[in-house]
Amino acid sequence: MHAYRSHTCAELTKQNVGDTVRLAGWVHRVRDHGGVLFIDLRDHYGVTQVIADGDSPVFAELEKVRSEWCIRIDGSVKARDESLVNPKLPTGEIEVYIRDMEVLGAAGELPLIVFGDQEYPEETRLKYRYLDLRREAMQQNMTLRSDVVASVRRRMWDKGFREYQTPIITASSPEGARDFLVPSRLHPGKFYALPQAPQLFKQLIMVSGFDKYFQIAPCFRDEDPRADRSPTDFYQLDLEMSFVEQQDVFDTVSPVIAGVFEEFGGGRKVDDPATWPQIPYAEAALKYGTDKPDLRNPIEMQVVSEHFAGSGFAIFAKLLEQEGTEIRAIPAPTGGSRKFCDRMNAFAQKEGLPGMGYIFWRKVELSDASKFAPDDDVWQHAREQTLNDLRAKGELPDNDMVGFETRDYYFEAAGPLAKNIGFERSEAIRLQLGLSGGDAAFFLGGKPKTFEGVAGKARTVIGEELGLTDKDRFAFAWIVDFPIYEKDAETGEIDFEHNPFSMPQGGMEALQGDPLAVKGYQYDLACNGYELVSGAIRNHKPEVMLKAFEIAGYGEEEVKARFGGLYTAFGYGAPPHGGCAAGIDRIVMLLADEENLREVVMFPMNQRAEDLMMDAPSEPTNEQLRELGLRVVKEE
């Protein structure tokens, strides 16, 4: 028999009754039933109940074992009484009577309990990560991660891609975050960098004539921690293709991503990749307040500035007199109660805004509404105006709002904004947003970039609280037409807003006009409010590359100095190429239904970018510093 086990703790069934077996694992739980010990023995694969009574030759030794001791047992398989069968376990029909036992590793007092669902502080979990990882949920998450990576590799190979490795120690390059620098011992005063991504190398692979490249690539970025972003390193499916346009990349990547989500999504709906919408960046910002919209939520924001211009609501009316400002509405179907509206107003204040205006509507029967109905002149004018608007839009005669002159009810608008702008404007807003009795709308105003983020969060909260968001679905959308440049609000200088290596739409000609109007062949894939994929068709022409960087303030000599390898390579027959990268950590996080990346990463850092288990970062020794020619200057 094997030195440690003949079976795993998930293998034994009724067919093994009478067999002599050897199991090894951890003591998950011990129950003493008055002279009979029941031990749940756990390994990576499952749990088997093992028992011993006073007749067992090792009963006295078994009485000493505690949770998380690692032991080996020999015994005979017995069938459980029918009333004691545990249908939740694959081994629930049997138990093993222990005849011999060896302690492989005793455990001291535990800083966290593996059995059960107790919650522990993150610092405790990360310091004793090896214990945390023994917990069932973590075992499942890490297994899922491994299976997802294997599935991704198979799918890429099936599409004719080959996996190539790129360097881990390289030169610094701009990828939108800080580099981790590595001092060179052989070249004092010079530094390598850990790659933020294999961006330049995968482009050089295309220039080298390899048509399809992919890699499950480690990436290193010195970033501030977030729940959905690692502060140090992460893994991505990195790929690049030659002789392709934007749609070719979509057609290649979408089935891979969709297939992984169908395979591991637990039955949640995944739309056909052919139907995934392609939403321009500007439209996504307007409708959803973000470039990674959650399309499970049907709410779409709209611009309603015309209804507030010159209105009695002075705050918005004066705001609209300033250049570049607008008012946006967030519809809230079924949210028409003062309690809900006040709660959302408080949400906006927590986000740092003075508040969030709102209107909610109630359906009022005219026969019972003499004291509520608007005066005849206003009512009649609103009817005529609404009918004229609907006729101009070609929307007559369709819904219950159209029979305005004949129906026996109207919608009363309530809330501070409604009182200030009046019935006619409130009714026009309701019609534009397609709302009815029992619905509400919330309003934010100013220059869009100052409130879009909060508006996007408010849209998410409204969808969640009103039960509008479909939780049983993965909703994907390609976000396209990203602007290449942005203007610094303080200095007025032009810089890259997104990937500097993207091909401008229109090529060199597009770079001759207004930089802020230039869009790139750059794209992201959003899913359920997260960015999963980011990529671009690359700028492979040296002269276009120089011009693109010149607009952002980089001279020719600086470009050649910083990206000399890529620039020089483009002068030797570079093919048109493009690709993308998909975040493995984020994909697994969504599939595991977790909200924090640290739940799907084996050994993550904490929120301060510290490894509490390995005590990193640590101070170097004086000898190490001397070898590198470095000196640490302490902050005062």
Domains and CATH numbers, the chain: 14-105 (2.40.50.140), 118-268+525-540+577-636 (3.30.930.10), 297-469 (3.30.1360.30), 483-519+541-574 (no CATH)
Q: Report residue 116's pLDDT band, with 50, 70 and 90 as the boundaries.
A: confident
CA distance 114 to 53: 26
For 100-113, what is the mean pLDDT? 96
Q: Is the pLDDT of residue 64 over 70?
A: yes
Mean pLDDT of 395-407: 46
H helix and E strand count, the chain:
19, 24
- Which one is predicted more confidently, 542 or 411? 542
Tokens 């620098």, residue located: 181
Residue 270 has pLDDT above 50, yes or no: yes
pLDDT at 366 over 70: no
- Do 294 and 394 meet the contact criterion of CB atoms below 8 Å apart? no
Residues 92-107, mean pLDDT to the nearest whole number: 97
**Do 164 and 213 touch, CB atoms closer than 8 A?**
yes
Percent of the chain surpassing pLDDT 90:
80
Q: Give the Cα separation of 116 and 113 in Å (integer).
A: 7
Asked whether the predicted pLDDT for residue 352 surpasses 50, the reply is yes
- Summarised one tens digit per residue, pLDDT across range 462-491 is 999 999 999 999 999 999 999 999 988 788
pLDDT higher than 60, residue 394: no
Report whether pLDDT(212) > 80: yes
Q: How far is CA 606 from the centre of its chain?
A: 18
Instruction: Give the mean pLDDT of 425-449.
Output: 94
Paired with 417 in beta bridges are: none
Residue 399 has pLDDT above 80, yes or no: no
Cα 52 to chain centroid, rounded: 49
Instruction: Report residue 487 as tokens.
Output: 């203007």
Tokens at 91, concatenated: 């081994």
> Using one digit for the tens of pLDDT, what is the confidence trace for 300-321?
999 999 999 999 999 999 999 9
**Rounded distance between C-alpha atoms, residue 329 and residue 301, angstroms:** 6
* Per-residue pLDDT band at 376 (split at 50, 70, 90): low
Please tell me the predicted confidence (pLDDT) of residue 393.
58
Cβ pair 546, 580 in contact under 8 A: no
Q: What is the DSSP string of 105-154?
A: E---S-SS-SSS-----HHHHHHTHHHHTTSHHHHHHHHHHHHHHHHHHH
Contact criterion met (CB below 8 Å) for 101 and 72: yes
Reading the block at residue 427, the tokens are 């009714």
Average pLDDT estimate for 39-50: 97
Q: What is the dihedral of CA 462, 466, 471, 474, to 10 degrees?
A: -40
Residue in 306, 346, 311 with CA at minimum distance from that of residue 329: 306
- The radius of gyration computed from the CA coordinates of the chain, to the nearest angstrom, equals 32
> Kind of pairing, strands 440-446 and 357-365?
antiparallel
Where residue 355 falls (left for φ over 0; alpha for ψ -120 to 50; beta otherwise) is left
The mean-pLDDT minimum among 80-94, 373-387, 425-439, 483-497 falls in: 373-387
CA–CA dist 72, 347 (Å, integer): 56
Residue 48 contacts residue 60 (beta carbons within 8 Å): no
Per DSSP bridges, beta strands 233-242 and 212-220 are antiparallel
Q: Residue 76: what pLDDT?
A: 97
pLDDT tens digit sequence for 535-578: 999 999 999 999 999 999 999 999 988 888 999 999 999 999 99
Strands (E), 484-627: 485-487, 494-496, 522-527, 530-537, 577-583
**Residue with the two structure tokens 């310091």:** 127
Average pLDDT over the chain reads 91
Residue 377 reports pLDDT greater than 80: no
**CA–CA dist 355, 348 (Å, integer):** 5
Q: How many other C-beta atoms can be found within 10 angstroms of the C-beta atom of residue 160? A: 10
For residue 324, the model assigns a pLDDT of 93
Q: For residue 34, name the pLDDT band (cuts at 50, 70, 90).
A: confident
pLDDT at residue number 396: 47
Asked if 238 and 197 touch (Cβ cutoff 8 Å), the reply is yes
- What pLDDT is attached to residue 142? 98
Could you list the beta-strand ranges (E) of 266-385: 269-270, 278-280, 302-303, 326-332, 357-365
Q: What is the DSSP letter of 222?
A: B
For residue 620, give both structure tokens: 């170097």
Secondary structure of 444-464 in the HEC alphabet?
EEECHHHHHHHHHHHHHHHHH
User: How does strand 94-105 pair with strand 36-42?
Assistant: unpaired
Give the up-direction half-sphere exposure of residue 629: CA atoms within 13 A in the CB hemisphere.
10
Calculate mean pLDDT across residues 213-239: 88
Range 361-381 average pLDDT: 58
Beta carbons within 8 Å of 626's beta carbon, 6+ residues apart: none
Confidence of residue 388 (pLDDT cuts 50, 70, 90): low
> Tokens 């069934």, residue?
13
From 445, 229, 459, select the one nearest 332 (Cα to Cα): 459
Mean pLDDT of 139-164: 98
Distance CA 28, CA 35 (A): 19
pLDDT band at 28 (very low <50, low <70, confident <90, very high): very high
175/281 Cα distance (integer angstroms):
20
Q: How many Å separate Cα 284 from the centre of its chain?
A: 17
